[in-house]
Structure 1
Amino acid sequence: MPESGHTWRKPFKAEPIEARHVRLWTAGRVKHPDAPLIAHELYVAVLQSGAPVVEMGIWTAGNRIRITADGPDPLPLLSSHGPGWQIVCSLADLTGLATDECGVWAQLGTKR
């Protein structure tokens, strides 16, 4: 039996004040206690690239949650190696850079 899940995507203006809305939007969709902070840090990572809009995404399947943040341009190296990224890596089970290098992602719920 395949796992069922949900998908949400939303563009946010690339402004620091929107980080609060990203946290609230995430908390309203998934109940994992670390998800809002992870979404915040992913948003900030893409925000640093100077993108005009940050596209956030949440996917669920079974007990797994994947959170993504994407922009239109490749991210600076600091986005996937800076202090915020260390927070994401500490809280998430899996993390990565999008194949086009324009986004970052984190996954929760894969550790058993």
Structure 2
Amino acid sequence: MPESGHTWRKSFKGEPIEAAHVRLWTAGRVKHPDAPLIANELYIAVLGSGAPVIDMTLSTAGPRIRITAEGPDPLPLLQSHGAGWAIVSGLATHTGLATNQRGLWAQVGTSR
């Protein structure tokens, strides 16, 4: 039986004040206690690259939640492996750099 899920996407301005909106938007859609913090750190990492707009995506599939933050340009190495990355990788089950190198993602929940 296939797992059902949902996907939400929203573009946020590339401004520090928007980080609070990212956390609230995430908390309003998924109920994992670490999801808002993970979304915040992914947003901040892409923001640090100077992106004028950051696209956030939340996707669920069964017990899993995937959070993605993506900007318009490839991320510098510092943004994809900076200080916030330690927080994300400590809280998430799986993490990575998007194949187009413009974003970062993290997955929480079981890894079945």
Q: State the TM-score bracket (shorter-chain normalisation).
A: over 0.9
* 2:22 aligned with 1:14: no
State the secondary structure of the residue aligned to 2:22.
helix
**What count of residue pairs does the alignment treat as equivalent?**
112
Q: 1:80 offset after TM fit, Å?
A: 1.8
Distance 2:52 2:6 in 1: 27
Match of 1:65 in 2: 65
Structure 2 counterpart of 1:69, one-letter code = A
Distance 2:62 2:100 in 1: 27
Match of 1:53 in 2: 53
* 2:74 aligned with 1:88: no
Q: Does structure 1 conserve the Cα–Cα contact (< 8 Å) formed by 2:64 and 2:111?
A: no
Match of 2:5 in 1: 5
Give runs of ≥4 in structure 1 deviating > 2 Å: none
Match of 1:105 in 2: 105
Structure 2 counterpart of 1:67, one-letter code = I
Match of 1:43 in 2: 43
Structure 1 counterpart of 2:107, one-letter code = Q
Distance 1:11 1:71 in 2: 10
Q: 1:111 offset after TM fit, Å?
A: 4.7
Percentage identity across paired residues of the two chains: 77
Structure 1 counterpart of 2:53, one-letter code = V
For residues 5-38 of structure 1, the C-alpha deviation after alignment (integer angstroms, 9 at most, x for no partner) is: 0000000000000000000000000000000000
Structure 1, unaligned stretches of length 5 or more? none
Distance 2:93 2:80 in 1: 16
Structure 1 counterpart of 2:89, one-letter code = C
Structure 2, unaligned stretches of length 5 or more? none
